């Protein structure tokens, strides 16, 4: 693998610092040296001129569903496909996501572990794609959110068994459904589903085997059950309140806001999305925005996620989430941190920062995204994506 030197423009390190005049040397798929550009005089290898551009870490999406394709009714669409078709589509979705500037994702619930095959084929180099962390089957109660595709469990012992099944299948992290949700008929986002005891037991069992846990948690009571149970990230967090924010800050719990999910549902109402989905999205949309804004203003840690795969939430368009965050009053630099170093920390990745020894997962954009987030959020401003030092075509 040949070396490549990036120099001439700005460098955003993923931790909050923007610098001019640096050179970033990549060797053997890793960042070998970050130093003043003058130190690289006489370098005879490949050069990438970043004049007028910004080099930043590849973006990371902490919440996608690779087996779904953003159809108006993903649940109905999946029923019409063979497992082989779903697997091939999941690979296509992963590759589209990489081309959109995302060098890593967390799949937050697939179908019968089909997405594991995609993860593994990318990891071993059979196919090009982003690094994938996968939770396997979402763990939910009888009749709970995601029950049509998840692992249904009831009671502490069954929840523990369900977590063990995901670990045995090869999950990277665990996802437990604390509340109802928008996309499942007959359930309410406001309602807590698993009890506090069930949540705590499932989270603890995952942690016992060094698996971080994510929780779909929208209603206040369910969010609190997950946070007090030790969950590592709250997904969505629609009905946060002062108590839940306080407990999350105390524990360092991440919020993965997924603003794209409801934004894109409401932007496409009338295009075949089930009526119950539209009704619930309208009911929770403004509260969701207020909750994310409150959490950010309180100093909470955000990790970026989109829920890509939900209606009209297209794999490859993930970067628009950055714009949705900034629209809430989040500073561009903080939105970028959420999509780089914070996301990498949550997913236990060495990527997400431009530092010596880190993987050369990189994105080059036109302009300065810390001043104008559209430099990173809009694909027309992307100039190049690199995965392990190799340019993505």
**Where along the chain do its domains lie?**
4-56+353-391, 59-318
∠151-183-173 over CA atoms, to 5°?
40
Closest to 254 measured CA to CA, from 206, 307, 199, 302: 302
8 A C-beta contact, residue 148 and residue 159: no
| Residues ≥6 apart with Cβ < 8 Å to 19 | 10, 11, 13
Collect the ranges in the chain with pLDDT lower than 70.
1
174-177/233-236 β-pairing: unpaired
Q: How far is CA 209 from the centre of its chain?
A: 22
In angstroms, the CA 357 to CA 128 distance is 22
Q: Provide the 8-state DSSP code for 370.
A: T
8 A C-beta contact, residue 114 and residue 143: no
Closest to 193 measured CA to CA, from 174, 178, 183: 178
Could you give the count of Cα atoms lying within 13 Å of 45 in the half-sphere of its Cβ? 14
CATH number of 59-318: 3.20.20.140
Predicted pLDDT of residue 1: 62
Strand partners, 64: 107, 308
In angstroms, the CA 276 to CA 128 distance is 38
CATH topology of domain 4-56+353-391: Urease, subunit C; domain 1 (2.30.40)
Closest to 214 measured CA to CA, from 323, 286, 103, 305: 305
Predicted pLDDT of residue 42: 87
In angstroms, the CA 16 to CA 354 distance is 11
| Residues ≥6 apart with Cβ < 8 Å to 59 | 101, 102, 103, 304, 318, 319, 322, 339, 340, 343, 363, 376
Burial of residue 35 (CB within 10 Å: 0-12, 13-18, 19+) is: middle
Burial of residue 266 (CB within 10 Å: 0-12, 13-18, 19+) is: middle
83: how many CB neighbours lie within 10 A of its CB? 12
Domains 4-56+353-391 and 59-318 alike in fold: no
Four-point Cα dihedral 9, 14, 17, 21, nearest 10: -20
């Amino acid at each position: 693998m040949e070396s490549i030197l990036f120099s001439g423009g700005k460098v955003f390190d993923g931790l909050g610092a923007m610098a001019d005049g640096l050179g970033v040397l990549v060797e053997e798929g890793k960042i070998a040296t970050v130093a003043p550009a003058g130190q690289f005089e006489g370098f005879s290898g490949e050069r990438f001129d970043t004049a007028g551009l910004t080099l930043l870490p590849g973006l990371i999406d902490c919440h996608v569903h690779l087996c779904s394709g953003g159809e108006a009714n993903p649940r109905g669409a999946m029923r019409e496909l063979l497992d082989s078709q779903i697997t091939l589509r999941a690979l296509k979705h992963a590759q589209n996501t990489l081309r959109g500037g995302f060098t890593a994702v967390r799949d937050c619930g697939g179908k019968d572990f089909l997405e594991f095959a995609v993860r593994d084929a990318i990891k071993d180099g059979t196919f090009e794609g982003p690094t994938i962390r996968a939770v396997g089957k979402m763990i939910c109660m009888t009749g709970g959110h995601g029950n049509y595709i998840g692992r249904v469990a009831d009671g502490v012992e069954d929840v523990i068994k369900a977590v063990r099944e995901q670990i045995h299948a090869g999950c990277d992290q665990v996802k437990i459904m604390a509340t109802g949700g928008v996309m499942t008929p007959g359930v309410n986002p406001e309602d807590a589903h698993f009890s506090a005891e069930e949540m705590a037991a499932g989270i603890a069992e995952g942690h016992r085997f060094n698996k971080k846990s994510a929780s779909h948690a929208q209603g206040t009571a369910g969010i609190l059950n997950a946070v007090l149970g030790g969950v590592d990230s709250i997904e969505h967090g629609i009905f946060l309140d002062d108590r839940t924010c306080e407990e999350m800050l105390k524990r360092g719990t991440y919020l993965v806001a997924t603003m794209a999910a409801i934004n894109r549902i409401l932007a496409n109402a009338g295009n075949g999305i089930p009526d119950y989905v539209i009704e619930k999205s309208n009911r929770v949309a403004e509260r969701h925005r207020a909750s994310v804004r409150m959490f950010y203003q309180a100093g909470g840690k955000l990790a970026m996620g989109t829920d890509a795969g939900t209606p009209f939430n297209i794999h490859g368009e993930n970067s628009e989430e950055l714009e949705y965050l900034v629209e809430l009053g989040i500073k561009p630099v903080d939105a970028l941190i959420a999509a780089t170093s914070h996301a990498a920390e949550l997913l236990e990745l060495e990527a997400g920062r431009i530092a010596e020894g880190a993987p050369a997962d990189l994105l080059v954009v036109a302009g300065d995204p810390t001043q104008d987030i559209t430099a990173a959020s809009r694909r027309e401003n992307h100039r190049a994506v690199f995965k392990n030092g190799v340019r993505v075509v």
